[in-house]
Amino acid sequence: MAHAEATVPRAATREEMRDAKLPLAYRDNCANLLLPLNRCRSDTYYLPWKCEQERHTYEKCQYDEFKKRVAKMDELREAKGGARSN
């Protein structure tokens, strides 16, 4: 396997997100994957069987980000001795 190490994708710039008219709520660490997904969706008229690879990659990124947030929250909760903030 020539590409054993995982490469970190380049983050989307503010200009790219602005030009793609990406809503502020979607401008996160996975925005660089959402831009080609939205482009593919508009090119294929949102057909559900098209753009499957782009959609899977974007949703996997969202899931990984969620897992990171949960782990960080668990870490903060452990530091407080298990006390909840709400």
Domain that holds residue 44: 14-79
Over residues 23-82, the pLDDT tens digits come to 999 999 999 999 999 999 999 999 989 999 999 999 999 999 999 999 999 999 999 887
8: in domain: no
pLDDT band at 7 (very low <50, low <70, confident <90, very high): low
pLDDT band at 5 (very low <50, low <70, confident <90, very high): very low
Number of structural domains in the chain? 1
85: in domain: no
35: in domain: yes
- Judged against a pLDDT cut of 80, whether residue 86 lies above it is answered with no
41: in domain: yes
pLDDT at 37: 97
25: in domain: yes
* Residue 72 vs residues 18, 26, 31, 32, 79: alpha-carbon distances, Å: 30, 21, 21, 23, 11
86: in domain: no
Q: Quick check: helix, strand or coil at residue 4? A: coil
66: in domain: yes
